[in-house]
Amino acid sequence: MKKLFAIILTSLIISCSGKVSDCEKHSSAYWTTTIFGKPHNTRIEGENFTIRKAFAEIKKSENNIEPKNGFITLRLHLDKYGSFCNQENFQINTNYQPIEFNDGKLIKKLEKVSSKLNKWKNDTETKTYYLIRFTIKDGRIEEIF
């Protein structure tokens, strides 16, 4: 009986150890997924308006960003249900060299806002990611897309 219990316990441990949460799975770009041959997207309710509104306060208050020009991209990873998993950021200057805006303080503010975005719609049953891009010009956030 002890051997049978040990075998069952071992098989349960092995079978559970291989499980991966929805957030740990590989992400596909939101524009590459298809269902029945038709492309489907991951999007937020309200689309660009919602995203721009979420960052409006930062856009208004941050008017002395250093360096003065460059680009920021946030990659938000969303599980198959549209829930936020995690995010990555890419910060580059106009020569496409990696940098940090405001010594890393700006990205922390942007990531805090983006992590709280909700009401994502995911038409697939795949973990996807969504890109939010910021253009920094003359020390200000000029464009969010």
Q: Look at residue 111 and give its three-state secondary structure.
A: helix
pLDDT on residue 17: 52
Mean pLDDT on 46-74 = 95
Whether pLDDT at 74 is above 90: yes
pLDDT tens sequence across 90-105: 999 999 999 999 999 9
What 35-42 contacts at long range (C-beta under 8 Å, 24+ apart), as own/partner pairs, is 35/123, 35/124, 40/123, 40/124, 41/123, 42/78, 42/82, 42/120, 42/121, 42/122, 42/123, 42/124, 42/128, 42/129, 42/130
pLDDT on residue 81: 87
**Environment class of 13 (CB within 10 Å of its CB; exposed 0-12, middle 13-18, buried 19+):** exposed
pLDDT tens sequence across 123-137: 777 888 889 999 999
How far apart CA 137 and CA 51 sit, in angstroms, is 19
How far apart CA 107 and CA 112 sit, in angstroms, is 8
Q: Which DSSP category does 64 fall into?
A: S
Q: Find the helix or strand (DSSP H, E) in which 84 lies.
A: strand 84-92
pLDDT on residue 62: 97
Per the prediction, the chain carries an average pLDDT of: 83
Q: Output the pTM of the full model.
A: 0.76
- Locus of tokens 């009986």: 1
Model confidence band, residue 39 (pLDDT cutoffs 50, 70, 90): low
Q: Look at residue 65 and give its three-state secondary structure.
A: coil
pLDDT tens sequence across 136-145: 999 999 999 9
Q: Which DSSP category does 97 fall into?
A: -
- The domain segmentation of the chain, as residue ranges, is 21-144
Model confidence band, residue 37 (pLDDT cutoffs 50, 70, 90): low
Tell me which of 94 and 21 has the higher pLDDT.
94
